[in-house]
Amino acid sequence: MSGTARDLFEAAMLNDSMDGVSKDKAMEMYRARLSAACLVDENGKRLFQGAAIKRLGEKSAQALSRVVDVASRLSGLTKADVEELTGN
């Protein structure tokens, strides 16, 4: 994820919780949302957008967690960053 993409991802996570949506509700589909922000084609175009993100979240939790682990590592998203976003 580029720096700009990460800023947009984090802003979206925080804005959802600021726009009258509870922090818990905003964190629904965190893995799918992070994966969607990082999964791109050879031209850098996102593979999952809109309703496709919800469908991505319905995939295997184990497989999605592996994608999230790698995406987090490659994007420099630390455990502390996740805790700040999730409020945990």
Helices (H), 19-60: 23-26, 30-38, 51-57
Other CB atoms closer than 10 Å to residue 75's CB: what's the count?
Answer: 18
Q: Are 13 and 85 in contact (CB under 8 A)?
A: yes
User: What is the structure's pLDDT at 88?
Assistant: 58
Cβ atoms within 10 Å of 52's Cβ, excluding its own = 13
Residues in the chain: 88
* Whole-prediction pTM: 0.75
Tokens of 64: 């999605």
The tens-digit pLDDT sequence of the chain (88 residues) is: 888 888 888 888 777 655 555 666 666 788 888 999 899 999 989 999 888 988 999 999 999 999 999 998 888 887 787 777 666 5
C-alpha to C-alpha distance for 3 and 25, rounded to whole angstroms: 25
